[in-house]
């Protein structure tokens, strides 16, 4: 008697959905990224056009005469009228306004960077009672509108004998710019490595030497970035000098441009006004072009820690 062995057929291999090609599915992520990239680049190009075209139009208009400005405002000048620049520089006293602005902004910018960097370094590197309270006082100063401080600030400056003076305006600019400077540089100093400063202390360096010879060179991108922002705000400041500086001989560029616009009465020297406007715009534009790489490094340094 023989027993026959029966063998079961092998189990079928399951077929997953990934092995079966699908048609008509959702678009690939690569195409979505390309569409988003093209959209973002289009927005950036549009923004660049909106920013650059008015600047180019102002420069082009500064070389026209008054008849060409109103007759053909969008056409290129048929002749370069350099006398517009010389007239604005000499007859409209733009040279004096420019010198006053350089003195005020230069002094206030140096004072802001020195005092702001020292305060930010202490707040970022040392723990002491009241550290966070002082830091939040500086942060709170950023949210205080300057319009609310104009009247008491006028009386304080007047009582100190600093009204209608260059150095008084410098001190006000420094106080106005310190909150943002301390807030920006405190976050920047926290990203710097502490091992270098500790090694300097071990070698016998003092706190001041460690700060000026080691920490300040390391914080150069952040100092340049916050310096550019302060330079832009202080160069274009109009409200503070209008209230605190009423002396005609000590006006800054923003006050000079307003004076140039209203001094001609019904006549209006539009070509000289555009020339003065371009004069006031060129230093800020040159600073951005020269230090654009340092500005980007300073803004992204905290995110790369």
| 4-39 confidence digits (pLDDT tens) | 444 555 555 555 544 444 555 555 556 666 777 888
**Cα(187)–Cα(180) distance, rounded to whole angstroms?**
11
Output the pLDDT for position 166. Answer: 93
Output the pLDDT for position 109. Answer: 95
Model confidence at 71: pLDDT above 60: yes
Segment 110-132 mean pLDDT? 93
Select from 87, 99, 101, 95 the least CA-distant residue to 274: 87
Residue 136 near residue 186 (C-beta atoms within 8 A)? no
Q: Which of 133-137, 246-250, 284-288 has the highest mean pLDDT?
A: 133-137
CATH of the domain spanning 83-304 = 1.10.3720.10
Instruction: Enumerate the domain spans of the chain.
Output: 31-61, 83-304
Run of H or E including 190: helix 166-191
Model confidence at 106: pLDDT above 70: yes
pLDDT band at 116 (very low <50, low <70, confident <90, very high): very high
CA 244 and chain centroid, separation? 24
Model confidence at 108: pLDDT above 90: yes
Model confidence at 162: pLDDT above 60: yes
* Mean pLDDT of the chain, nearest integer: 83
Burial tier of 143 (Cβ tally within 10 Å: 0-12, 13-18, 19+): exposed
pLDDT band at 75 (very low <50, low <70, confident <90, very high): confident
Residue given tokens 């106005």 in the structure block: 176
pLDDT band at 267 (very low <50, low <70, confident <90, very high): low
CA distances from 135 to 2, 127, 180, 184, 210 (A): 97, 12, 11, 11, 22
Output the pLDDT for position 78. Answer: 82
Model confidence at 44: pLDDT above 70: yes
Higher pLDDT, 280 or 92: 280
Which pTM value belongs to this model? Answer: 0.78
Residue 228 contacts by C-beta under 8 Å, 6 or more apart in sequence? 287, 288, 291, 295
**Cα(168)–Cα(174) distance, rounded to whole angstroms?**
10
Select from 120, 136, 92, 23 the least CA-distant residue to 275: 92
CA distances from 304 to 222, 224, 300 (A): 13, 18, 7
- Exposure string (b/e) for 105-128, b if CB count within 10 Å is 16 or more? bebbbebbbebbbbbbbbbbbeee
Model confidence at 158: pLDDT above 90: yes
Run of H or E including 83: helix 83-90
């Amino acid at each position: 008697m023989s027993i026959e062995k029966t063998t079961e057929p092998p189990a079928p291999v399951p077929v997953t959905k990934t092995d079966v090609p699908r048609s008509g599915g959702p678009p690939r992520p690569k195409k979505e990224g390309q569409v988003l990239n093209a959209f973002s680049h289009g927005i950036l190009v549009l923004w660049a056009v909106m920013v650059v075209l008015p600047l180019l139009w102002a420069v082009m208009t500064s070389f026209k005469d008054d008849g060409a400005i109103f007759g053909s405002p969008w056409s290129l000048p048929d002749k370069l009228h350099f006398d517009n620049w010389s007239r604005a520089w000499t007859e409209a006293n733009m040279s004096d306004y420019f010198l006053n602005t350089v003195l005020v902004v230069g002094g206030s910018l140096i004072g802001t960077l020195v005092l702001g960097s020292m305060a930010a370094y202490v707040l970022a590197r040392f723990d002491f009672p009241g550290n966070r309270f002082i830091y939040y006082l500086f942060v709170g100063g950023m949210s205080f509108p300057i319009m609310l401080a104009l009247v008491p600030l006028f009386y304080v400056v007047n009582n100190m004998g600093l009204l209608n003076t260059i150095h008084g305006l410098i001190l006000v600019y420094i106080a106005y710019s310190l909150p943002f400077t301390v807030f920006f540089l405190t976050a920047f100093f926290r990203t710097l490595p502490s091992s270098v400063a500790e090694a300097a202390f071990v070698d016998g360096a003092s706190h001041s030497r460690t700060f000026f010879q080691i920490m300040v060179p390391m914080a150069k991108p952040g100092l340049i970035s916050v310096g550019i922002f302060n330079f832009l705000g202080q160069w274009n400041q109009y409200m503070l000098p209008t209230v605190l500086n009423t002396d005609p001989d000590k006006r800054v560029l923003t006050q000079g441009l307003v004076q140039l616009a209203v001094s001609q009465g019904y006549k209006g020297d539009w070509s000289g006004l555009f020339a003065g406007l371009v004069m006031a715009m060129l230093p800020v534009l040159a600073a951005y072009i020269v230090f654009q790489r340092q500005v980007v490094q300073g803004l992204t340094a905290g995110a790369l820690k």
